[in-house]
Amino acid sequence: MAAIIRMRDVRKTYATGALEVEALRGVSMTIEDGEFVAVAGPSGSGKSTLMHILGCLDVPTSGSYWLAGGDVGELPDSHLATIRNQHIGFVFQQFNLLPTMTAARNVELPLAYAGVPRPQRRERALAALARVGLADRTEHRPGELSGGQQQRVAVARALVTDPALLLADEPTGNLDSGSSAEVLALFTELHAAGRTIVLITHEPDVAARAQRTVLIRDGVLAA
Ligand SMILES: Nc1ncnc2c1ncn2[C@@H]1O[C@H](COP(=O)(O)OP(=O)(O)OP(=O)(O)O)[C@@H](O)[C@H]1O
Ligand SMILES: [Mg+2]
């Protein structure tokens, strides 16, 4: 297996006025293609910071990061945006769906950014929604869907570009136990189908769904 993610001694310091916070203090890790990994740790331990770097939403203060064989540590923002669009699907705790757009239009958006022609966009969005069990909700707006359904729309949106890596930050944090189970079952299926998944959570029973768990505490990984 090839490593999809390789991080070496990644540090991230946030400066807010006179206060500096070292959110990551030397993180090294390797994730193989096709793995399902949970990142767990208490509030403020650096999980979201790590996800932002993994997802090329932010860059390390120092250290190196290779994604799918390419060094992304040194790239300008414009390149990072392209890498995000091509290689990574994101799922967030707050769904982040656009409220005025239908489920299908929300799922089409990453394809619009990627320059895919409209008829193909539509077709692929409908297929992704069918994949997450929402073939009968494509014309609903987010406000007309349950929390679990909204999160499944977000998973469809993350998958529609066929990304190598699916990154989820507390994807079940706003869901009741039934909807959580639905979304977690979907992750398990996606992993079985070969997708690489990194799931961030502070809930041990959610982390237990992954193949292995990486623990983070005060910005460092625990052995
Ligand atoms: N944009 C920012 N500017 C300044 N400090 C930040 C910023 N983002 C995070 N931090 C700080 O960095 C540390 C790590 O935050 P992070 O959001 O990564 O934690 P987390 O593990 O995701 O926590 P939670 O479980 O509460 O989501 C915290 O001390 C936080 O206050
Ligand atoms: Mg967080």
- Domain assignment present for residue 147? The answer is yes
Distance from the alpha carbon of residue 220 to the mean position of ligand 2, in angstroms: 15
Task: Give the ligand at the shortest distance from the Cα of 50.
Answer: 1
Contact by Cβ (8 Å): 37, 197: yes
Q: Which of 13, 49, 203 is the best mutation target for the ligand 1 pocket, counting ligand atoms within 8 Å of the beta carbon and taking the most?
A: 49
CATH number at residue 143: 3.40.50.300
Query: Given the DSSP bridges, would you call strands 165-169 and 196-201 parallel, antiparallel or unpaired?
Result: parallel
Give me the tens of pLDDT residue by residue for the chain, a chain 223 residues long.
689 999 999 999 999 889 999 999 999 999 999 999 999 999 999 999 999 999 999 999 999 999 988 888 777 888 888 888 889 999 999 999 999 999 999 999 999 999 999 999 999 999 999 999 999 999 999 999 999 999 999 999 999 998 989 999 999 998 899 888 988 999 999 999 999 999 999 888 899 999 999 999 999 999 6
Which residues constitute the domain of residue 80?
A: 33-49+76-221
Indicate which residue's Cα is closest to atom 29 of ligand 1.
44
Query: Given the DSSP bridges, would you call strands 62-67 and 3-16 parallel, antiparallel or unpaired?
Result: antiparallel
- Domain assignment present for residue 153? The answer is yes
- Domain assignment present for residue 20? The answer is no
- Domain assignment present for residue 13? The answer is no
Task: Give the ligand at the shortest distance from the Cα of 92.
Answer: 2
Residues having CB within 6 Å of any atom of ligand 1: 14, 16, 21, 23, 41, 43-49, 202
- Domain assignment present for residue 156? The answer is yes
- Domain assignment present for residue 142? The answer is yes
Report which ligand 1 atom has the smallest distance to the Cα of 16. Answer: 4
Indicate the SS3 state at residue 48: helix
Number of structural domains (the chain) is: 1
- Domain assignment present for residue 67? The answer is no
Distances (CA, A) of 173 to 5, 79, 91, 98, 201: 25, 31, 11, 19, 8
Distance from the alpha carbon of residue 192 to the mean position of ligand 1, in angstroms: 32
- All residues at 6 or more sequence positions from 118 whose CB lies less than 8 Å from its CB, including other chains: none
- Domain assignment present for residue 202? The answer is yes
